[in-house]
A and B are shown apart, each in its own frame.
Chain A
């Protein structure tokens, strides 16, 4: 029997992922052994410590540029930047997840399996503490995302995709209020997500058939050199793209987004809108820039159409929404379109501006969902837009914060939204994708109207009987809000440091 040669592993470079997987496992163990009362604090502290430790390692390793684990994992500039972004945004989301000040027991249900509407269900809705499994699940999801953006071959990428998707499917089903909606969201997300994963996997198989390997380096070489029929290549790439665009919520693979964003517990929606977006686009960037850059001419027009469609659908349908979470979901779809514009610049600028956009958007969107968790009445969060009328009178501070966030979404100057849009559009223009930019600017204007409508509603309407109160946020939510709003402002006024960072990080290793 021949000797197996074991791959070399640069443990320092993959340490952030190891730490988080370890922390998640320990978290599961704690669920088993700790008494109920001690679980929440322990889990929260453990998860936060794990994330901070992983972040420190990333900062410490920030100059690493290496292919490791037999070429399965690439630790390079984009990986480290995106991993750092996912962790920072993950910390914010975790703060929202951990807060129990607004609602007794937190935003999560205690026993998700209890029949909705039964006596036991009603009882647990008001009395029981929320499930603490959400913390290890969140950490698993974040760890999966870290691996996803670092994956240097399609198979590792697929495994990472499943690792971060499965916990998210579960988390979506755990909302304390509106259980049916939450379960529907989870089931929908799971079924469509499984479908998309299958597409991805099938695409991997086809590409393997073409290239004879799944590493991006191998694929790159055979894309540029191979003389055999390209049917397998194009079919495979198309299917892989479908799998990734599904996660990124790009049209026409976006239909799950509004339902899932609405049904999921709001902190989880924030996690999905920020971190999943970063991960999905991180994966997409690596696939397109490293693996398939040889056929850029062929896929750019198609993905361009997808981008335009995404922006249009997101912007147009956002206008008609009456639920704040659905509105933010459609806005998230439109933002996926803007991100695609940056991706399709297919240049160093495109890469760095897309990464900047991801971070800028992530901070803002988590803060937005943070505010949504605060506006509530006796039945939980009041997400119908008509209920937000007159909120400015009830609570000028939070209405002001939300206004600022919406202005950032609308891309008004002096917010991070403007700089981010400016950066991606500039990169696309430099690459000669003017048509994408025209659509981008026009849809940005369209998209400004739903935002302005909410602003007008909050400030110019009289508060009515049904205007909900704004809860005083717990310390954790307040911290997440402060981080999000400050980041939105700072990245709008002085974006230079982060842009420099993205520029210096914008080099893939192959």
Chain B
């Protein structure tokens, strides 16, 4: 078995890793250091950070809901994309399947929406 088809992939991995390491490594040297209050505070999805209760607090379940909802649509996109690329060869069957798939995702969406998952407060 020849390994040659894998060489470009390995090269790609090496490049990606190198870029990530380099970015982190050189940021302290190149970046300007202008601190302000917001930069030093804990990041909580852009809202006013709440002081941590004594004895450890519970993260509101709302964050999880948002994250889950994001994943639902993220996954949907992942499947939609390859389907769109090979739409012609998949034909009607693929179209119906995708409708069903989107339908099930929307059922979950409708459930979350109706049960108040989208209300922040």
Contacts and interface: CB of A to CB of B under 8 A. Distances in A.
Question: Taking the complex as a whole, does A directly touch B, i.e. does some CB pair lie under 8 Å apart?
Answer: yes
Interface of A: 1-4, 6, 25, 28-29, 31-33, 113, 115
Nearest to B91: A6
Contacts of B70: none
Nearest to A29: B107
Given A28-B107, A113-B61, A3 B89 contact: yes
Given A25-B104, A25-B107, A113-B61, A32 B89 contact: no
Contacts of A4: 86, 89-90
Contacts of B91: 6
Nearest to B85: A1
Contacts of A29: 107, 110-111
B19 interface: no
A112 to B, nearest CB: 11
Interface in B97-119: 103-104, 107-108, 110-111, 113-115
A1 B114 CA distance: 43
Interface in B2-28: none
Given A32-B110, A32-B113, A33-B110, 20 more contacts: A1-B89, A2-B89, A4-B89, A6-B90, A6-B91, A6-B93, A25-B103, A25-B104, A25-B107, A28-B107, A28-B108, A28-B111, A29-B110, A29-B111, A31-B114, A32-B107, A32-B114, A32-B115, A33-B114, A113-B61
A113 B115 CA distance: 14
A6 B115 CA distance: 38
Interface of B: 58, 61, 86, 89-91, 93, 103-104, 107-108, 110-111, 113-115
Nearest to A2: B89
Contacts of B58: 115
B89 to A, nearest CB: 5
A403 B91 CA distance: 61
Contact of A1 (B86, B110, B111, B113): B86
8 contacts: A1-B86, A4-B86, A6-B93, A25-B103, A29-B107, A32-B113, A32-B114, A32-B115
A4 B86 CA distance: 9
A31 B111 contact: yes
A114 to B, nearest CB: 10
A115 to B, nearest CB: 8
Contacts of B107: 25, 28-29, 32
Contacts of B93: 6
Contacts of B103: 25
A372 to B, nearest CB: 32
Nearest to B112: A32
A6 B113 CA distance: 35
A4 B83 CA distance: 12
Contacts of B110: 29, 32-33
Contacts of B89: 1-4
Contacts of B111: 28-29, 31-32
A1 B61 CA distance: 46
A113 B111 CA distance: 17
A136 to B, nearest CB: 9
A2 B89 CA distance: 8
A139 to B, nearest CB: 13
Contacts of B90: 4, 6
A501 to B, nearest CB: 34
Nearest to A3: B89
Contacts of A32: 107, 110-111, 113-115
B103 to A, nearest CB: 8
A121 to B, nearest CB: 14
B17 to A, nearest CB: 24
Nearest to B93: A6
Nearest to A34: B114
Nearest to B90: A4
